[in-house]
Structure 1
Amino acid sequence: MKYRQLTKEQFESLHIEFAHFLATQSIDVKEWKLIKKEKPEIAEEEMNIFSDIVWDDVLSKTNYLEHFSKTSVNLFKCNAEEIQRIAIQVKWDVDLLNQEGFEWLMKNPLDNSVDIFKGSKPYNPKRNEEIFDLIEKGSAISKGEIFEYFSQLIK
């Protein structure tokens, strides 16, 4: 397994897609119930394969990630060959996790208490695996507006 198995909630929200996946394996509902009951290891393997397919699809379409903490923000742009990062650190007691703190940062990005760093690096080991690792560590997929805003600001 390349990633991790989808959660129960994720499987439930993708139940139609999972049913189609099982159908491509020539497994109908009746047979799936039998497999789960009599061969749980095969059921587990089918769920793992489906999870990897879903994760690969989501990760391949991911272009931006963001990770917020109380006083810092990490913004990522996921290109084909490399990942770009903008790291923002606020040096006073602001809470970027609440609306007021976030709005302060967006209105005062060039304040003396704000440090902004930009860098990039090739993926290690592979693009989707690195993006998955960042998601597992708390990053969220985004549309990239905040990344692009700060990228223009620090040109």
Structure 2
Amino acid sequence: MKYRQLTKEQFESLHEEFARFLASQKIDKKEWDAIKKDKPNVAEEEMNVFSDVVWDDVLNKTEYLEHFSEKTVNLFKCYQEEFSRIVIKVDKDINLLEQDGFEWLLKNPNDKSIEFFNGSKKYLKERNVEIFDLIEKGSTIAKGELYEYFNRLLS
């Protein structure tokens, strides 16, 4: 398995897609129920393969990631060969995980208590594997507004 199996909730929300996936392998509902009952390891493998297909689809489309902590924001732009990263560190008595702290950052990007770092790095592993690793470590897929906003400020 390349990534990790989808959660039960994710499978439930993708039940129609999973049914089509099984159908593409000529497995109908009756046969799937029998496989789950009689060959749980085969059922598990089918779920793993489907999970990898879904993750690859999502990760192929991922352009931006964000990761927030109380005092730091990491913003990533995911290119094909490398990712670019902007790190924002705040040395002030605010919490960036709270709405007030986040709004303060947006309104005061030039405050002397804020440090910016930026750079880029080539992927050491396959692009999607590295993006998935960042997601597993707490990053979320984003639309990129924050990255582009701070990238303009730093340019």
Whether TM-score is above 0.5 comes out as yes
* Cross-structure match for 1:76: 76
Sequence identity percentage: 68
**Shift, 1:18, TM fit:** 0.1
Paired residues for 1:1-155 under 5 Å? 1-155=1-155
Between the aligned partners of 2:94 and 2:129, the Cα distance in structure 1 is: 33
Between the aligned partners of 2:110 and 2:130, the Cα distance in structure 1 is: 30
SS for the counterpart of 2:73 is strand
Instruction: Count how many residue pairs are aligned between Structure 1 and Structure 2.
Output: 155
SS for the counterpart of 2:85 is strand
The runs of at least 4 consecutive aligned structure 1 residues that moved more than 3 Å come to: none
**Shift, 1:85, TM fit:** 0.2
Q: Map Cα deviations across residues 108-151 of structure 1 (whole Å, 9 max, x no partner).
A: 11110000000101011010000000000000000000000000
SS for the counterpart of 1:138 is coil
Which letter maps to 1:99? Answer: Q
**Shift, 1:93, TM fit:** 1.8
Between the aligned partners of 1:135 and 1:68, the Cα distance in structure 2 is: 12
TM-score by length of 2: 0.99
**Shift, 1:92, TM fit:** 1.4
SS for the counterpart of 2:33 is helix
Which letter maps to 1:63? Answer: E
Q: Map Cα deviations across residues 45-86 of structure 1 (whole Å, 9 max, x no partner).
A: 000000000000000000000000001100000011110000
SS for the counterpart of 1:36 is helix
SS for the counterpart of 1:74 is strand
Between the aligned partners of 1:8 and 1:58, the Cα distance in structure 2 is: 17
Between the aligned partners of 1:140 and 1:49, the Cα distance in structure 2 is: 23
SS for the counterpart of 1:9 is helix
Between the aligned partners of 1:56 and 1:93, the Cα distance in structure 2 is: 40
SS for the counterpart of 2:84 is strand
Between the aligned partners of 1:124 and 1:4, the Cα distance in structure 2 is: 20
**Structure 1 unmatched runs, 5+:** none
SS for the counterpart of 1:106 is helix
Between the aligned partners of 1:136 and 1:55, the Cα distance in structure 2 is: 12
Which letter maps to 1:110? Answer: N
